[in-house]
Chain A
């Protein structure tokens, strides 16, 4: 049987689901094909950081646009997604690091971005009372925060289906090819046809791009996270370190999420990951040093989600350089969660109008053309 749609989205992560929602809002009817279930990998198991802070300049406009979408997330998807906005704080552990912060904020200001604000030791202590006394300051992005990633991705998936998206989970998209003006994708014994295909396949996005003649230097990675049992509230904003690999967030229920980008070994074909406890130990030790209050907290679970990291640590977003009707939206390189809601809006805009008002020039696939 052949299923006709306006667009075929490959991948049911936050990005694919968000693009589906936004295409529906523009009156189009997409089909979304997910080989496992929505949010199974990176989208459902990441740290949940909703962060404009410390991003590469090329993706700041997209991040800022996404922030606007986050602030109306309840109206968009009918669920608050666990989103809170207590800010994100980048901690400088010494004067040298604070100097780097100072020039970063000055540079952003010259470019017209004002979301990052330099803070001194006093303001740092006010925002994060539990941080070690020796830290001289940092940067805050006050609109930032965190959300529940599995809940968010699930909410987007649910909303997409309510708005008319054909959602297929548990089947893999295969044989993606173009026949005349239409793209064809086979999945679960059926053929899907549409003038548009969106490659939002996360860790699998590189393979799809390569199979269509647009290879991107991309590797599969699995950043590790661990979470503690509930401890009394002691910190509101998300904290990341300037020098060491650590991110740190206490949820409203008291549990504390510890991340920072140390990597597990991914086994992409089975979806499994093997944790590197010696690296998690480094995170534990960093927390032990910076937040003495955490020393007797209990680690209840650690995990890693599989995703794609590109050679320049920036995502691939926008139309294909080779094929009409093919769009890429993958390679978010450990920082795609916050971008999901906004990137879906930009993709829908690109697909429906051929253009976008959000600058994405540094993110297009052309940058990897040889």
Chain B
């Protein structure tokens, strides 16, 4: 059932995000009899990996791949599970009392749940090269969104640059749909192949191995791929005109209308951090990850995290993590109902299988420093137009971490709430101060984690004192 606003004020379980983890969690919980609400900000279920799986104009299955269409099965499952599904609902607040602020249909309201599973997925890692804010430069993920929801593909001179499993997948998807790609710049560090070698055995048995290899081969057969790229810069007068790169010591410039950038994804931490969930710096994936127990439980009682928001693991792992977190909720709230669903051990075994070889990918596709930590007048914070040098200057006169930096430069205080600059700021300040990122820390994040209009906020249902305040005025 799809509706415009939550039907109740209280639920056993609220699941936030209808990607692989959220769909799996909501489905299992509702099947076990938990009063379950699934909240998702998109118009249809699927998250990013299965975006628009119920509505995409791209009907030919081959083009998006079997893994994409696997999403529709889980969507069917959750629709039959009895979970209440609310699409187009933006969750902008969550606190440690498990009160959830939701904006839907132009108004806001609060609900409370006994348990919350955050399945808010991942964000693309910032890729702050010179000129990355020019019109004509976008993230590969944004291009993929346009491709899946509207069937839009690039038709001008297009360069894609970066690395990682999703990088190759997107490149392959664009090419299959007849999109134009002139050049692929692969930024994978050559020495990473050696570093990843010890983990290769496990990856050989991973479900991603064969598919990944086939995809890279498919791309290479259709487009020129330059490997070992060590520098990229975009330039142009008012919009992208040229991409300059360096590989094997050689500098080359090519004309371009579109540059798609991607160097992996990182957990989307904003909602979890704003709820007070403890995070740690992950030195392998080079990002902040929530501190979790075996069931995805966080430092905040009642809040669990599943899917890529718990640490990047991919869609298959996300599904299993969603089931584990949901089963833990069932065990806590309706212990007797747990007998009806597969055991925790079953899910853990499936998760172990899905995660096999992940370390190989993490090591191989560890983004190199020059693409994570910019210098000079490269923009770091797009909202406030702050450059790397501005930040170094602030460090020199006493800014010690991202929160102190706000006083100097307003970084992270714009509408993106640090999504586009947070990791860069942490790593840049850590580098400048010679300290580990863990010690430098991250922005203290605050609700609303997604902007809401004053009218939406004002439209919250009135409580008694609010009514009095208005009457008195």
Contacts and interface: CB of A to CB of B under 8 A. Distances in A.
10 contacts: A227-B413, A229-B451, A275-B95, A277-B457, A282-B465, A284-B457, A285-B458, A294-B454, A302-B447, A302-B448
Contacts of B413: 227, 300-301
Contacts of A153: 407
A302 B470 CA distance: 22
A300 B451 contact: yes
B407 A39 contact: yes
Contacts of A302: 446-448
B405 to A, nearest CB: 10
B97 A274 contact: yes
Nearest to B410: A253
A243 interface: yes
Contacts of B458: 281, 284-285, 287-288, 295
B400 A37 contact: yes
Contact of B470 (A40, A229, A285, A299): A285
B469 A282 contact: yes
B446 A303 contact: yes
Given A37-B400, A274-B96, A303-B446, A281 B457 contact: yes
Given A274-B95, A282-B469, A301-B413, A295 B398 contact: no
Contacts of A272: 276
Interface of A: 37, 39-40, 44, 93, 148, 150-151, 153-154, 157-158, 161, 169, 227-229, 243-245, 272, 274-275, 277-278, 280-282, 284-289, 294-303
B258 to A, nearest CB: 28
Nearest to B400: A37
A151 B454 contact: no
A297 B408 contact: no
Contact of A299 (B403, B451, B469, B473): B451
Interface string B436-473: 00000000001110011111011010010110011011
A303 B406 CA distance: 14
**Which 10 interchain pairs have the tightest Cβ spacing?**
A150-B407, A284-B457, A298-B451, A284-B458, A288-B458, A281-B460, A285-B458, A154-B407, A303-B446, A151-B407
A43 B172 CA distance: 53
Given A40-B403, A295-B458, 18 more contacts: A157-B398, A229-B415, A229-B451, A274-B97, A275-B93, A277-B447, A277-B457, A278-B460, A278-B465, A281-B457, A285-B466, A288-B458, A294-B454, A295-B453, A297-B454, A299-B451, A299-B453, A302-B446
Nearest to B92: A299
A284 B454 contact: yes
Given A150-B407, A289-B473, A297 B460 contact: no
Contacts of A93: 473
A228 B454 contact: yes
B110 interface: yes
A246 to B, nearest CB: 10
Contacts of A37: 400-401, 403-404
A298 B465 contact: no
Nearest to B398: A158
The number of chain B residues touching the other chain, given as a range, is: 35 or more
B404 A300 contact: no
B313 interface: no
A296 B407 contact: no
A280 B466 CA distance: 10
B93 to A, nearest CB: 6
Contacts of A148: 407
Contacts of B97: 274
A57 B80 CA distance: 67
Contacts of B93: 275, 277
B48 interface: no
Nearest to A253: B410
Interface in B254-290: 276
Contacts of B96: 274
B335 interface: no
A275 B465 CA distance: 16
B414 interface: yes
Interface string B167-188: 0000000000000000000000
B87 interface: no
A32 B233 CA distance: 46
B3 interface: no
Nearest to B406: A150
B463 A278 contact: yes
B274 to A, nearest CB: 10
A287 B458 CA distance: 9
B466 A154 contact: no
B408 to A, nearest CB: 7
B387 interface: no
Interface string B271-314: 00000100000000000000000000000000000000000000
Nearest to A294: B454
A161 B452 CA distance: 41
Nearest to B464: A278
A263 B382 CA distance: 32
B404 A298 contact: no
B465 A287 contact: no
B41 to A, nearest CB: 15
B455 A288 contact: yes
Nearest to A264: B95
A68 to B, nearest CB: 24
